[in-house]
Structure 1
Amino acid sequence: MLQSVNLKSGNLITAWIDYMNGKKKLDIFLSYSSFKPEKPLLTVNIDLSRYLNEFMYVGFSASTEGSTELHYIENWSFQTMGFHPVRPRIHPHNVSDSSVPHTPPTPVSNSGNKHHERIRLGLGIGFPAFFCSVLVVFGWISVKKWRDSRTEKSLKAELVTGPRQYSYKEIKSATRGFHSSRIVGHGAFGTVYKAFFTELGTTSAVKRSKHAHEGKTEFLAELSIIACLRHKNLVPLQGWCVEKGELLLVYEFMPHGSLDSLLYADSENGNPLQWSYRYNIAVGLASVLTYLHQECEQQVIHRDVKTSNIMLDANYNARLGDFGLARIMDHGKSPVSTLTAGTMGYLAPEYLQYGKATEKTDVFSYGVVILELASGRRPIERETESHKMVNLVDWVWMLHSEGKIIEAADKNMNGEYDKKEMKKLLLVGLSCANPDSMERPPMRGVLQILNNEAEPMVVPKAKPTLTFSNSLPLSIDDIVLDCEDSVMPESQFEIRLE
């Protein structure tokens, strides 16, 4: 931030860099408008005469080194002016003072000299400046026409092959001014609205960031990551809008909403999600995580895999969404410690301890989701009789240790499920939610097990215990006890420290 100009605002910024060789001074001006401010934001005393010539080539380059770019150059120009013309000699060559009679100069008034000097100086500076200005204006018009033509062509291509840029007016009209009746969900970074685009004849979901200035990082992360991804089990991104201080993402509308609403609300109403859909959701989610972890050019760590971020299309296929916390890293590269972010109950123990998100932290979250699908229970919920908070992973592992893991199956299904598949899903869930990250299977291995291409992993009867070099800030038991003392009405608890 430089005074009143925020370099990360996303607004168009004009910069002027002026160097005056006579004063050996470099001035830098910044403004949101095209009018140059009176005072520079930065002044540096430096001699650049060695590097600047009357005729020279000028350019610049930059690199983000694989990171997401925050700025780009709309257009630029370079000009020099004010070079003094070569003054003529006062006396002709090869003429001595003695060969020509000395004639005293005609006296001229001081004011006349000054007047002519001003005219010469004005012509010497004004004409080149005018000529350069004409060239700049002509070049700007030509470049603008070319850019407009290129942008129009690229947008037409994007309508078919990728996300397009929507206008704020379009989205506001499609959501009836972001009316409360169009709200279909709330996420960590904003609200989701149902939108009807009458001109396109389509229905979409619009994600609106709750605080544009705070959600810019998450918005850019989600846009830059998901715009490059292509998989049948991802929520397709249709477009975006950055206008009037709003950060908006437009997604394909998912008719059946989120998995958690179908898994819990519908079950409570006597309409449980049928088994074939549940198993298919587990397979689809394993497939897309395999893609993100192992098949993309760079590894994508989602960091927020949970039932509320899994949407269901018209055929009840799983579609993973909400990449606001996602991170990209090179394959085989060690993760960097970050502030812990995610939802309690889905967070791997080592992530809570060290803050390092890897593919194995996503695998842990996937394991919890699988256990939810099989049991119909939330990751952490209050027991009806004892009113104690129970951790889902611990509860299923206890049943497994007693040799009756099948009793973890969702009672609301009334036994209408394939017992072999149910047991397989529960064992896969436990193997993925193993406290020891080294013992968790890769997502490709999970997919092979679910597709009957490999045998399930052997899950130990006793839940493994894990110790860290430093004391764990929150153990699973601490989490349960903390939730037990909480007065929050929901049974899930979110950590949002980023």
Structure 2
Amino acid sequence: MTSLSGRFYFNFVLTLNCALFAFFSGNVSSAATEFDMGTLTLSTMKLLGDAHMSNGSVRLTRDLAVPYSGAGKVLYSKPIKFRQPGIESPASFSTFFSFSVTNLNPSSIGGGLAFVISPDDEFVGDAGGFLGIMDGKGTQNGVVAVEFDTIMDVEFKDINGNHVGLDLNSMVSTRVCDLDTIGVDLKSGDLVNSWVEYSGSNRVIKVYVSYSNLKPKEPIISSTFDLNEYIANDFMFVGFSGSTQGSTEIHSIDWWSFSSSFDENPGYNSVPPAGPPPPSASLMNPTADTVNAPPPLVAPVGDNSNTTSHQGKIGGKCHNQLCRSGAGAVAGVVTASAFFLAFCTVALIWLYNKKFKREKKCDNLASDVIKMPKEFSYKELNVATKGFDSNRIIGHGAFGTVYKGILPTTGDIVAVKRCSHRGQGKVEFLSELSIIGTLRHRNLVRLQGWCHERGESLLVYDLMSNGSLDKALFESRMILPWPYRRKILLGVASALSYLHQECENQVIHRDIKTSNIMLDEGFNARLGDFGLARQIEHDKSPDATVAAGTMGYLAPEYLLTGRATDKTDVFSYGAVVLEVASGRRPIEKEGGKVGVSGNLVEWVWSLHREGRLMGAADLRLGNEFDEGEMRRVLLVGLACSHPDPLVRPTMRGVVQMLVGEAEVPIVPRTKPTLSFSTSELLLTLQDSVSDLNGMITLSSSSSETSLTGGGRGGSSGLDLV
């Protein structure tokens, strides 16, 4: 049989499944709607005002110069039914969304965003405190919103500039809660998750907010109100609005899922809980009309608003017994038909799998590894990079070269990583594809897709317009301001906290350094290059390997044991912190800028010992920084660089330290010495790298061997593989 026959059988089976699904679900939920960002297309979204697509996210506002203000709105293009004749209770709904607020100018005022239920799909309200929801004239009524406000507006009785509120046809919130009480800062630039759930039968709305993907046990807002009394029409539009008030605040919606239905039984909420996307879910392609989402296992459930149940009549009247017997006969026929159709479906699926299913093989790449990201053709990427023109090179990795590419079909600007043809390059290709393809965090570089043709291994990423952090620190004509540096360090810490503690399997990056930290258009950090990364189960000990990474960033115990852990990543992050704060590379040539020692970490420890820690601050900043913040950052860097891995903080703790929610642990003035027993050292050295190029000095005694120093190397560090 040809593949056409296979597709015929598959489509036939899918049709049968859809028919069965439609029959059995027709009486369950009427006027139900369900969608998420993995199923949305540009034709099913409506962008109004300043709203636009950017890097797979929906941005509600633009980067306007101070003191200009703006507002934008994005709506699901199809109206949602919230009231239904004959049903007293309004629709129940559940929505989950991830968003971030980025302020490029901390001295500017603010704005905010809101989840809105709106009577029309054309109106954009005023900027500033109106959040694009309403205007000062009261033009639009019948609006329900959950606002996330970053400005304290006295006119609307706001409690502060960091709150969530329930707005019922008014910009004066009916219920309001201070987000500081749960440790969420809207202006931090970090990804914030929110769940909004409304039970039509109970008339209760609950709002949950968290940095975590796990919904909190308790809502931050719980309020009772009848949605029927506040919405203007039976059909309403849902989406988001946002505004600025003389600021450079940018509001991004990174993920959104929504579902609604009418409760059949009082007190029973039939809406399935909305939540974060699965690890493999993709976000919107800003230029394509369809989304490159993973192929569904069953037919996707879209808008079922036209699905209704009807009960016919015979001559306008029906004898009860006749109706019962007729209904019984119909039920018997329907049941038998349903079983017959189910049997045929199973049989055809078995036949399809047995006879016609063909596995696509691509140079022995396991299909279970390559699941989610889009597969590009070699021709498409060859055209995008102008035949991998040397003039398109924008960077070099340990195992490949990165090119700037312009996709011919969409015009998207991307970064194309051409992995080397050596064995290690292929290993890195599979590692990146299998690990980062399943991760989703706003501070990770997003993998768009891959290609494995003609002996080439190619990875396609979002292009970061401001390049890498090391170039911004050492090669840019503009001195990177302190607020940007602090925001970058917080972003990297947030990404590592996600990798270490929030993923299903812990991810150890193994190559944290400034050249692997990319900067987007807003100078937000995006951690990339997962070629050396490893996944391990939580609380499992990693296997010993040959030490890999870059000198100056490698933890001392990693060099000796070859075992990479979350604590070795913490050490590397500490070196990055000191590099960003001081504006000096981790390894300098002898007689270079560091002067006292070629190793940056050693030099900062020496300054701390002498009581001159602030002497490590980058002189190019010209004292344009908050001294308390600088001292805190330097102490965080030293705490992360502690020789004893057990003393180093977790990355979640680092995030709390950087935002001021936790105190930095006491850092001893004299750098402690890491000690190993002789027997332990001899055993671990057998599986570790043998030539460390003079980076460490071993001083032995009768019972112990101590690791006491850093060494000297090239100006940009030495890669170990």
TMscore range, shorter length? 0.5 to 0.7
Is 1:232 the equivalent of 2:442? Answer: yes
Cα separation, partners in 2 of 1:142 and 1:435, compared to 1, 3 Å: same
- CA deviations 1:436-483 (Å, max 9, x no partner) are 101100111111111111111110010001121245875855499996
User: What residue ranges of structure 2 are gaps of 5+ in the alignment?
Assistant: 1-350, 361-369, 699-707
1:212–1:246 contact (8 Å) kept in structure 2: no
> Could you tell me which residue of structure 1 aligns to residue 544 of structure 2?
337
RMSD over equivalenced CA pairs, Å: 2.6
Superposition deviation, residue 384 in structure 1: 3.5
- CA deviations 1:400-448 (Å, max 9, x no partner) are 1121211100011111111111000000000000011011001111111
Cα separation, partners in 2 of 1:393 and 1:387, compared to 1, 3 Å: closer
1:399–1:405 contact (8 Å) kept in structure 2: yes
- Identical aligned residues as a percent: 56
SS of match in other structure, 2:677: coil
Superposition deviation, residue 143 in structure 1: 2.2
**Paired residue type of 2:373:** P
Specify which of 372, 384, 387 is matched with residue 174 of structure 1: 384
Specify which of 415, 422, 432 is matched with residue 222 of structure 1: 432
Which segment drifts farther, 333-342 or 210-219?
Answer: 210-219
Superposition deviation, residue 196 in structure 1: 0.4
Structure with greater helix share of residues: 1
Q: How many residues matched?
A: 341
Specify which of 302, 305, 311 is matched with residue 512 of structure 2: 305
CA distance in 2, matches of 1:276, 1:354: 38
Superposition deviation, residue 198 in structure 1: 2.6
SS of match in other structure, 2:488: helix
Superposition deviation, residue 201 in structure 1: 1.7
Superposition deviation, residue 340 in structure 1: 0.8
Alignment of structure 1 residues 10-29 onto 2, 5 Å: none
Cα separation, partners in 2 of 1:483 and 1:396, compared to 1, 3 Å: closer
Specify which of 672, 681, 695 is matched with residue 464 of structure 1: 672
1:389–1:481 contact (8 Å) kept in structure 2: no
Alignment of structure 1 residues 68-107 onto 2, 5 Å: none
**Paired residue type of 1:143:** F
2:594–2:600 contact (8 Å) kept in structure 1: no
> Could you tell me which residue of structure 2 aligns to residue 319 of structure 1?
526
> Could you tell me which residue of structure 2 aligns to residue 492 of structure 1?
717
**Paired residue type of 2:653:** G
1:212–1:245 contact (8 Å) kept in structure 2: no
SS of match in other structure, 2:606: helix
**Paired residue type of 1:325:** L
CA distance in 2, matches of 1:235, 1:315: 14
CA distance in 2, matches of 1:425, 1:482: 22
CA distance in 2, matches of 1:303, 1:237: 19
**Paired residue type of 2:610:** E
Is 1:379 the equivalent of 2:586? Answer: yes
Specify which of 481, 493, 509 is matched with residue 286 of structure 1: 493
CA distance in 2, matches of 1:331, 1:163: 25
**Paired residue type of 1:226:** I
CA distance in 2, matches of 1:163, 1:214: 22
Cα separation, partners in 2 of 1:390 and 1:140, compared to 1, 3 Å: closer
Cα separation, partners in 2 of 1:205 and 1:265, compared to 1, 3 Å: same
Specify which of 417, 428, 449 is matched with residue 625 of structure 2: 417
**Paired residue type of 2:625:** Y
Cα separation, partners in 2 of 1:482 and 1:354, compared to 1, 3 Å: closer
**Paired residue type of 1:225:** I
2:510–2:564 contact (8 Å) kept in structure 1: yes
> Could you tell me which residue of structure 2 aligns to residue 444 of structure 1?
652
Larger Rg: 1
> Could you tell me which residue of structure 2 aligns to residue 273 of structure 1?
480
- CA deviations 1:72-104 (Å, max 9, x no partner) are xxxxxxxxxxxxxxxxxxxxxxxxxxxxxxxxx
Alignment of structure 1 residues 72-151 onto 2, 5 Å: 143=356
CA distance in 2, matches of 1:409, 1:389: 16
Cα separation, partners in 2 of 1:322 and 1:439, compared to 1, 3 Å: same
2:517–2:528 contact (8 Å) kept in structure 1: yes
> Could you tell me which residue of structure 1 aligns to residue 575 of structure 2?
368
CA distance in 2, matches of 1:172, 1:212: 20
CA distance in 1, matches of 2:581, 2:538: 32
> Could you tell me which residue of structure 2 aligns to residue 249 of structure 1?
459
Alignment of structure 1 residues 389-408 onto 2, 5 Å: 390-408=598-616
SS of match in other structure, 2:553: coil
> Could you tell me which residue of structure 2 aligns to residue 347 of structure 1?
554
CA distance in 1, matches of 2:623, 2:380: 49
Cα separation, partners in 2 of 1:189 and 1:415, compared to 1, 3 Å: same
- CA deviations 1:140-183 (Å, max 9, x no partner) are 99725x989xxxxxxxxx9xx95200000000000000000000
User: What residue ranges of structure 1 are gaps of 5+ in the alignment?
Assistant: 1-137, 149-157
CA distance in 2, matches of 1:293, 1:278: 22
Specify which of 421, 426, 435 is matched with residue 643 of structure 2: 435
2:393–2:403 contact (8 Å) kept in structure 1: yes
1:237–1:250 contact (8 Å) kept in structure 2: yes
Superposition deviation, residue 210 in structure 1: 1.6
**Paired residue type of 1:406:** M
CA distance in 1, matches of 2:379, 2:397: 23
SS of match in other structure, 2:429: helix
Superposition deviation, residue 385 in structure 1: 7.9
SS of match in other structure, 1:380: coil
CA distance in 2, matches of 1:297, 1:386: 41
CA distance in 2, matches of 1:245, 1:209: 10
TM-score using structure 1 length: 0.65
Specify which of 393, 396, 415 is matched with residue 205 of structure 1: 415
**Paired residue type of 2:539:** G
CA distance in 1, matches of 2:709, 2:452: 43
**Paired residue type of 2:561:** Y
- CA deviations 1:227-286 (Å, max 9, x no partner) are 1000000000000001000000000000011000011112xx4x2100011000110011
SS of match in other structure, 1:468: strand
Cα separation, partners in 2 of 1:139 and 1:333, compared to 1, 3 Å: closer
CA distance in 2, matches of 1:481, 1:448: 30
1:303–1:362 contact (8 Å) kept in structure 2: yes
TM-score using structure 2 length: 0.45
SS of match in other structure, 1:227: helix
CA distance in 2, matches of 1:386, 1:366: 19
**Paired residue type of 1:493:** L
Superposition deviation, residue 391 in structure 1: 1.0
SS of match in other structure, 1:437: coil
Cα separation, partners in 2 of 1:214 and 1:357, compared to 1, 3 Å: closer
2:399–2:424 contact (8 Å) kept in structure 1: no
- CA deviations 1:102-152 (Å, max 9, x no partner) are xxxxxxxxxxxxxxxxxxxxxxxxxxxxxxxxxxxx9799725x989xxxx
SS of match in other structure, 1:390: coil
CA distance in 2, matches of 1:405, 1:482: 19
1:347–1:364 contact (8 Å) kept in structure 2: yes
SS of match in other structure, 1:319: strand
CA distance in 1, matches of 2:381, 2:710: 42
**Paired residue type of 2:550:** T
Specify which of 262, 269, 272 is matched with residue 472 of structure 2: 262
